Amino acid sequence: MIGVVDYGSGNILSVRNALAMLGAEAVLCASPEALAAADRLILPGVGAFAACAASLRRAGLDVALTREALDGGKPILGICVGLQLMARRSFEGGEHPGLGWFMADVARLEPADPALRVPQIGWNDVRCRPGSPLFAGLPDAPDFYFVHSYALRCDRPEEVDATGDYGGPFTAAVRRGNIAGTQFHPEKSQDLGLKVLENFLDWTP
């Protein structure tokens, strides 16, 4: 059973619908008990980092997610702000602590080309790390749908699973052990995005 973490994020139903297209059973998890019952977890996210982090804390889901991911070794995929929450901190609207699963900071995109507006909204191709299980069976430079003003700056290059370019390189996906995340929205990225979700469902870290 796939648990989609329900903490008021805007793309929860889109993620659930995408999983349904793959024939996967998905339930919305709004309590620590529900997280514990799921076989693997997806942490979606839309909106401001600080508000999303506060919502997780209010529900006690921050501690529960850390227990399931780090202590339990349960496979978990973060999407967009869900990925950013896995970093140690974000500089969106001040400095705010994250879950600390990746040694990374969330910083604003700073494209070198002034014609490129922030946020980045639309399709962009990414360069994937060879052998990544998330991108198995995909072309060399697959296109995905992005909506973001911030991205991870990772201390450990080996944890970067894919990069994009928007007037300069940015982190498009990360992976360490049983934890992975994408800055793009696989649930909005048509067939290639569905393949990423399918790969996550098949992934055995």
Contacts of 75 (CB under 8 A, 6+ apart): 40, 41, 178, 179, 180, 200, 203, 204, 205
- Specify whether 187 is catalytic: yes
Give the three-class secondary structure for 102.
Answer: strand
Which one of 29, 148, 159, 185 is the catalytic residue? 185
Name the maximum alpha-carbon separation found in the chain.
48
How many CB atoms are located within 10 Å of the residue 125 CB? Answer: 16
- Specify whether 33 is catalytic: no
Contacts of 139 (CB under 8 A, 6+ apart): 192
Which one of 68, 92, 159, 187 is the catalytic residue? 187
Alpha helices (runs of H) in 38-166, residue ranges in sequence order: 49-58, 61-66, 81-84
**Residues in a beta bridge with 107:** 151
Which one of 29, 52, 68, 80 is the catalytic residue? 80
**How is residue 67 annotated by DSSP?**
I
- Specify whether 154 is catalytic: no
User: What is the gyration radius of the CA atoms in the chain, in angstroms?
Assistant: 15
Active site residues: 80, 185, 187
